[in-house]
Every structure is written in structure tokens, then in C-alpha cells.
Amino acid sequence: MWKDIGDREMGKIRPNSFSSRIKSNRISNLQLSNNKDIVSSHRGSINSLQVDLTEGRYLLSGASDASAAVFDIQRATNYEGDGLIAKHKCLFSVDKQHQKGHKYAISSAIWYPVDTGLFVTGSYDHHIKVWDTNTTQVVMNFKMPGKVYRTAMSTLATSHMLIAAGTEDVQVRLCDISSGAFAHTLSGHRDGVMTVEWSTSSEWVLITGGCDGAIRFWDIRRAGCFLVLDQSQSQLGQRPPVLARSAANK
């Protein structure tokens, strides 16, 4: 590493290359902590994880056994090994036994962006549910036309409270928490929508990816997407045709 630092000071390495080398070196040296243990309550594979964006303290998880759990990753539940090993057990969980719990695998679990008082889960049982963290009760339920693959909320939004949902249906649906109804749908994909992400620069821009191989950019204030990245249907990723004049000049 010191050699890389010396080369960077002498200008032999570009800043981006230097940053990449440092990150790679740190990642390769990562090891599991022997003093911290997250005790999972799930009995199936973990499909979704997110740490809250407000405090960076609470970890939300969703699993294939239809359960969701919340962990405090900063304050341990108890200690073992003469106080050397911090055990972090889930603060609470909701599963099939819950009166309003999901019936099938939870594919997506996200925090409400500005408050840990709410979290959202999407499941293969065709439902998106908004939960009150304090009471562990469902405060809102959206029935979708198919399996829910991904949900997302904008971290920038100040004008809307929309949950973007990608399902096995071809349409992207926007669920409005403030009204408890669907705001509108975005049509354009030709197959199921596997992932949705909000832009980090605009609260109105949504990016979606589908099984049709296309990535679509939407401005939710307007009809239709304004950009499509689809290599199979366009010249993206292909060598552009050589013009006759350019060939002659060469």
C-alpha cells in the first residue's frame, strides 16, 4: 500500500486507479468480527436487507419463510463469553403467525426513508404492506396483480409518498401511502418488472428493469418513459456503421 501511496504522490497513478486499489485492498482484508454476532430469527433464505437511512442503526430483513425482522446493530441485546461477544437478537419479527402477516416469501423489505416508524414489505403473496414499527400492525395494504419482486421509495421526495412496485405483471405501479390507493401505472415493459430504483438526483425520476431486457427511465409526471436502454432492440453496445466518406478517407 505504501508503494501505491508513493506512486500517487509522484503522479504515476491516476486518482481513480489509486482509489480502486485502496478499496480492493481493504475489501480483501475484511474478516468477520469475533466480538459481534447477529442472531437471525429467520428459518429461510434472506431475500432483502436494509439499514435505516435516518439513524443508521436498525437493520430490517425479509426472508423466504414470510417473516420480517428488525435488529439493533449498535446496541447489543446481551453479552456472552465474559462480555467479549455482543449478541444482537431481533427486536421483533412478524411472520405467518401474525394476523396480518404475509403468506409467502417476502421479496422486498424497506424502511420509510425519513422515519423508522414505518416499514414496507412486498411478498410473493401479491401484497405490499405498510407496517407501524411501534405496534407491529399493518396500517396499509395494497393488492397487486402478481408476485412482488421489488419495492422502492425515493429518499429525496418531499412532494409525494409513493412506493414503486415491480411485479410479474408488465406494468409498474405506484402506491400512494398518503391516500392508500394506486396513484397511476407505468406501461412499457413487455414482461415482468424485476427491479425498480428512484433517481438520486430527482424525486420524479424512476428507473425500472424488466425480464424483457430493457431498462426504462420514467418521469412520473408525464406519460411514457423518456429513455430506454435495450441492447437487443437498439444499436447500444454495437459498432456503429462506417460511413462511405470515412472509409474513403482512410
**pLDDT tens track for 133-145:** 999 999 999 999 9
Flag whether 207 is in a domain.
no
In a domain, 11, yes or no: yes
Q: Is residue 155 part of a domain?
A: no
88-145 pLDDT, tens per residue? Answer: 899 999 999 999 999 999 999 999 999 899 999 999 999 999 999 999 999 999 999 9
Q: How many domains does the chain have?
A: 1
pLDDT digits (tens, 9 = 90+) for 48-81: 999 999 999 999 999 999 999 999 999 888 888 7
Q: Tell me whether residue 23 is in a domain.
A: yes
Q: Are 88 and 76 in contact (CB under 8 A)?
A: yes
Give me the chain's average pLDDT, please: 87
Cα separation, 159 vs 188, whole angstroms: 25
**9 in any annotated domain:** yes
Q: Using an 8 Å Cβ cutoff, are 163 and 175 in contact?
A: yes
Q: Can you read off the three cell numbers belonging to residue 119? A: 416499514
Find the distance separating the first CA and the last CA of the chain, reported in whole Å: 46
Report pLDDT for 233.
Answer: 62
Distance from C-alpha of 222 to C-alpha of 212, rounded to nearest angstrom:
22
- Domain with 10, as residue range(s), is 1-29
In a domain, 179, yes or no: no
**8 A C-beta contact, residue 161 and residue 175:** no
- Please check whether residue 52 lies inside any domain of the structure: no
